[in-house]
Amino acid sequence: MSREGELRRHARAETSSPIQIVWQDRNGADRFVNGRSLNISQAGMRVEVSAPIEKQTYVTLQCAALSLHGAASVRTCARKGAKYILGLEFSGGLQWKPKT
């Protein structure tokens, strides 16, 4: 795969796996949403969910299909139809490694 002209630090792999995300809203209430992964890299992932999450919110995510469980920060949140596309940056030492 050619990375010519690519600005991202890590290559992304297309995925479509169920994911669960938990976070606290502005009022400190626990929130929960199910979604699906769209793509993933070593340092982050893009997911589709049914509810918006504010940028710079720390979330806990779990995706058994990708062997992921840990923390991430919401870097982007954009509405797409009735859904929202989140850009998540892994934190707390969480990294994804493709199975070889």
User: pLDDT 10s per residue in the chain (100 long)?
Assistant: 444 545 556 677 888 999 999 999 989 999 999 999 999 998 999 999 999 999 999 999 999 998 899 999 999 999 999 999 999 999 988 888 877 6
Question: Is position 2 within any domain?
Answer: no
Judge whether 73 and 89 are in contact, CB under 8 Å.
yes
Which CATH number fits the domain that encloses residue 55?
2.40.10.220
Q: What is the pTM of this model?
A: 0.86
Question: Is position 8 within any domain?
Answer: no
User: For residue 65, what are the domain limits?
Assistant: 13-91
Question: Is position 97 within any domain?
Answer: no
Nearest residue to 33 via CA among 15, 12, 47? 47
Q: How far is it, in rounded angstroms, from Cα 44 to Cα 73?
A: 9
Sign of torsion over alpha carbons 52, 17, 100, 70: positive
Q: How many distinct structural domains can be found in the chain? A: 1
Question: Is position 58 within any domain?
Answer: yes
